[in-house]
Structure 1
Amino acid sequence: MGLGSFLSSVRRIVRIARKPSKSRLKTSLKASLVGLTLLGVAGFVAELTSSVLSTTPIPKPSLSALIPVIVGAIVGSLIALLIGKLRGWW
């Protein structure tokens, strides 16, 4: 896509675009505010958890304890992928 076709596409979209109604704008703003709030809360919880865990000494797990967890995660992912393929999700 060249610059000229891009600019003509932008002009066409701006010409066709309409202002939203007040109720539609309020709904969009509310949805955006809820999404940003949830994202902020999730970030705060992650940061708080990280700071608590960094001050608490946690023993390192042995390799024999990690191998079943890794294998289980791989098998679970493959099963989810297979189910998704069979049901037509992907």
Structure 2
Amino acid sequence: MKLMFIIAGDEYAADISEKLKEHAFMATEVGSTGDFLQYGQTVLLLGVDEQECDRILTILDPEADWEGTEHRHPFHEEVSIFVTDVNDYVKVNA
């Protein structure tokens, strides 16, 4: 399993999230106000199988078809994507 962090400007987060939903990927959005990430950035978190990482990168490719989204050319700034290994996953019921 992999954990993907997609860091983008707030104005692009909704379009990215919608594009992922079109392909059955759900993300958790976290806003940023700290020093590590600039104010106005959103982090989308996705837990995915390893083989899905390349598919997600293809979906988010700036050359992909973004018709129907607010931004015809999706990103006018850098979007950072980090992919990390998930060594353990435990779900605890409270």
TM range (shorter): under 0.3
Q: Which protein, 1 or 2, shows the higher relative CO under an 8 Å CA cutoff with sep ≥ 6?
A: 2
Structure label with greater radius of gyration: 1
Where is the strand percentage greater, Structure 1 or Structure 2? 2
Give the structure with the larger helix fraction: 1
